[in-house]
Amino acid sequence: MKKINYNLEMENIIKNIGENKPKLLLHSCCGPCSSAVLERINEYFDITVFYYNPNIDEKEEFLRRSEEQIELIKDMSLDDVKVVICDYNHDEFLEYVKGFEKYREGRARCFKCYVERLENAAIYAKENGFSYFTTTLSISPHKDSQILNRIGKYLSNKYKINYLYSDFKKKNGFKRSVELTTKYKMYRQDYCGCEFSKMERQSLNEEN
Report CA dihedral (190, 193, 198, 201) to the nearest 10 degrees.
-40
Lowest mean pLDDT, pick from 5-19, 92-106, 164-178: 92-106
Q: In this structure, which CATH number among 3.30.450.40, 1.10.357.10, 3.40.50.620, 3.30.565.10 belongs to the domain 6-207?
A: 3.40.50.620
**Single pTM value for the model:** 0.94
H or E stretch at 3: none
**Of 106, 103, 93, 171, residue with least CA distance to 137:** 106
Phi then psi for residue 170, to 5 deg, are -65, 160
- C-alpha–C-alpha distance, residues 137 and 182, integer Å: 19
Helix, strand, or coil (residue 23): strand
For 166-203, the pLDDT digits (tens) are 999 999 999 999 999 999 999 988 778 888 887 877 76
